């Protein structure tokens, strides 16, 4: 299975594949549910192999461990998922 880091790299570097509307879904432990966020609201630091940064509706930045990313959608279609 492709890792989430590999998929995010492909979206970033493969111009043809990376065209579209992407959302990621990550598991929020406090709310006990999957939170969907547009990929444009996600910041990925290529030197950080453990966390990505997500901006919430209030503009607050949260660190989300890669292992809590559970799904990725492209144009509304599920293209990647990890068991919940």
Q: What is the pLDDT along the chain (84 residues), one digit of tens a residue?
A: 889 999 999 999 999 999 999 999 999 999 999 999 999 989 887 777 899 999 877 888 889 999 999 999 999 999 999 986
What's residue 39's pLDDT? 93
CA distance 37 to 23: 5
Write out the DSSP string of 28-61: ETTTTEEEEEEGGGEE--TT-SSEEEEE-TTS-E
What's residue 84's pLDDT? 66
What's residue 60's pLDDT? 84
Q: 4-81, what's its fold?
A: SH3 type barrels. (2.30.30)
CB 22 within 8 A of CB 12: no
What's residue 8's pLDDT? 92
The side-by-side arrangement of strands in the sheet containing 77-81 is: 33-38, 22-28, 69-74, 77-81
Residue-range domain boundaries for the chain: 4-81
């Amino acid at each position: 299975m492709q890792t989430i880091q590999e998929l995010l790299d492909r979206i970033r570097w493969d111009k043809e594949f990376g065209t579209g509307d992407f959302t990621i879904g990550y598991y929020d432990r406090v709310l006990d549910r999957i939170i969907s966020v547009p990929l444009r609201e996600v910041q990925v630091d290529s030197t950080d192999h453990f966390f990505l940064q997500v901006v919430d509706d209030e503009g607050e930045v949260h660190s989300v461990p890669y292992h809590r990313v559970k799904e990725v959608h492209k144009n509304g279609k599920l293209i990647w998922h990890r068991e919940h």
